[in-house]
Amino acid sequence: MTETPPSQGSQEPATAGSVRAFTAEPVPRPLTPLIGRVQETEATLAFLANPDLRLLTLTGPGGVGKTRLALRTASLVTESAGWSVVFVNLSSVPDASLVRSAIAQALGVPVGDQSTLMARLVTTIGESRLLLVLDNFEHVISDAVVVVELLSHCPGVKALVTSRMPLHIQGEQEFPVQPLVPPLPGAANDVVSLAANEAVALFVQRARAAAPEFTLNERNADVVAEICSRLDGLPLALELAAARIKIFTADSLLKRLNDRLGVLTGGPRDLPSRQRTMRDAIRWSYDLLSLDEQVVFRRLAIFSGSFSLGAATDIVDFTVENGDPSDGPVDVLDSMLSLLDKSLIIRVDQGENEYRFRMLETIREFGLGRLNEAGETDVARRRLLRFYTDLVVSFEFDLIGPNQHIILRRLDQEVGNLRLALQTGLDLDSAASVHGLRLASGLWRYWLVRGQLSEGSRWLSRSLNAATNVPVGVRALALNNLGNLALELSQNTKAHACYMQSMELYESIDDNSGMGDELNNMGLLELIQGKFDAARGLLEQSLAIRRQIGDTIALPNTLSNLGDIACFEEDYDLSETYHVEALAIRREIGNKRGIALSLSNLGMV
């Protein structure tokens, strides 16, 4: 799309003096071609073509490509007769009070007396059709009123602003610039399809600039795709990483991305200093934050993947013992709104009833560094562990009820945080190990339904080995659930050992419900091995206990197992009786997976 902004105000051409002034500093022409951004360019031109829109702000994190998009748009507008374009680079302006001076210099207007400068700018521009590109506005945003004054007095002016945050003035249209979309992690892609991916194309272009012999081929395609994915498709990160191809193979570079900020350095000398390393690009944004915002930012970095507002509020708002009073409780909601504005967190997919948020991984790595420097890493990890332990334990019955699909989706969204919490239980002290064991135990059914049995078994085994000073009931339940996973993995010997240990612990605290569970599970093991008499004896004991205590959640399992024995022994009437009762209970409690199993069993009968 090449449509340019329509005229506002007078259609008379600018005076000769005005045109000469507007061209005092030509719009910069980048020395490398712009990769992709076709849709974004069309969108910016469409916004500017709207006669009712005067101010368009391109927002996004440092290094996302806001300036390149603005320059591309400006170059297309320049090609339109009757429009002047002036580019104002604000990155070197040290103080917000000098924004007017920077605009004047770009227009070729002598700065002179500051008190009359705005009036002289308005007079110079007059009613000319002018696209004013204001680049890197974020650090002088306190003087955004300058933009309002110019637009109010110069009806032919439109402003295209790049900033890591919106200006928050009337009439502003924000356009968030997103990173390039990288290939999906782990996806099987051929070289041709990968070469067409914009993130990969940018990486390859910059890699070949550093090492002309570099090519995308069958041997390195998957690695390059993984590099682009690990860097979130962030253009500056891709360019800095690609420059390292001169000294690293793609495989070596990927391995070094565990320390992204240490690798992403050495940008071109003609780039602003803040963009020669990824760390400096992020620090530029970080330094613009208030103290409270810096605290929330570094604490939000603890999340692995996306997070909910509820999780952020619960985990991030804490006071460090013997710490700086400024590091105490903070307004998480207001700070998150500001971090969103400043592109340090982004809003991602919507959950069932709320939005979720995340940090780009390079930004998160910077935040984790600040968290560690503040001495808050262990505190934040411990709070994250407790939050997700309580969350998962609260889902115990929902995982077999009518809302199971909702809970499974929620846990899918949290899986990165769940893994981090599980690792925290292994890494920290005894108290953390107990929470970690409860979490690992509570997740067994999630791993089962999602078919990730081996991972669930590994976490639970490691948590059992690491946990100390564990309440008897907690350890007994964890052993039971580990046995359940082992049974699903056909590890019958291990399952039997877990059930026996769990039974002994439940007996030691006279826990009838727990003993009913183990009798059922050991009976199921005997059933699987074809030992029907032994299985029936154990299952009937379990059935009696479960009826006595009214355990409707677990009762259908025992009924189903007894129904299977009757079916194998060709007592179909008895089998049907057991399965019909199990089905009725499962329907009553809304256990969809159980309903499916009961219906399948009845079909077999």
pLDDT at 279: 82
What pLDDT, in 10s, does the model give residues 222-272?
999 999 998 889 998 898 888 888 888 999 989 888 877 777 675 555 555
Residue 22's pLDDT band, with cuts at 50, 70 and 90, is low
- Whether the per-residue pLDDT at 2 is higher than 80: the answer is no
pLDDT at 63: 87
Contact 228, 205 (CB under 8 A): no
CATH 3.30.1300.10 corresponds to the domain 16-176? no
pLDDT at 3: 43
* End-to-end CA gap in the chain: 66
pLDDT at 186: 66
pLDDT at 355: 87
Average pLDDT over residues 306-317: 93
pLDDT at 281: 80
Backbone angles phi, psi at 7, to 5 degrees: -70, 145
pLDDT at 9: 34
Task: Give every CB contact of residue 282 below 8 A, 6+ residues apart in sequence.
Answer: 61, 62, 261, 362, 363, 366
Query: Measured between alpha carbons, how far is 173 from 55 in angstroms, rounded to an integer?
Result: 6
- Whether the per-residue pLDDT at 24 is higher than 70: the answer is no
Using only the alpha carbons of the chain, give its radius of gyration: 32
Residue 188's pLDDT band, with cuts at 50, 70 and 90, is low
- Whether the per-residue pLDDT at 351 is higher than 60: the answer is no
Query: Measured between alpha carbons, how far is 102 from 133 in angstroms, rounded to an integer?
Result: 12
How does 238-272 read in b/e, with b if 16+ C-beta sit within 10 Å?
bbbbbbbbeeeebeebbeebeebbebbeebeeeee
- Whether the per-residue pLDDT at 274 is higher than 60: the answer is no
* Percent of the chain whose predicted confidence (pLDDT) is above 90: 58
What pLDDT, in 10s, does the model give residues 90-138?
988 888 888 999 898 888 888 888 888 899 999 888 888 899 999 999 9
Backbone angles phi, psi at 132, to 5 degrees: -100, 110
What pLDDT, in 10s, does the model give residues 194-223?
999 999 999 999 999 989 999 999 999 999
Average pLDDT over residues 345-364: 83
Contact 301, 364 (CB under 8 A): yes
Q: Which strands form 84-89's sheet, in the order they lie side by side?
A: 84-89, 130-135, 157-163, 55-59, 172-176
Which amino acid, 366? F
Angle subtended by helix axes 532-549 and 512-528, to nearest 10: 160
Residue 18's pLDDT band, with cuts at 50, 70 and 90, is very low
Which neighbouring-strand residues pair with 133? Answer: 87, 160
Residue 512's pLDDT band, with cuts at 50, 70 and 90, is very high
Task: Give every CB contact of residue 504 below 8 A, 6+ residues apart in sequence.
Answer: none
pLDDT at 94: 82
Query: Measured between alpha carbons, how far is 104 from 109 in angstroms, rounded to an integer?
Result: 5
pLDDT at 20: 39
pLDDT at 271: 52
- Whether the per-residue pLDDT at 590 is higher than 90: the answer is no
- Whether the per-residue pLDDT at 510 is higher than 90: the answer is yes
pLDDT at 378: 95
pLDDT averaged over the chain? 87
Which amino acid, 480? N
More confident site: 590 or 507: 507
What pLDDT, in 10s, does the model give residues 50-96?
999 999 999 999 889 999 999 999 999 887 767 889 999 998 888 88
Q: Could you tell me the residue ranges of all domains in the chain?
A: 16-176, 191-280
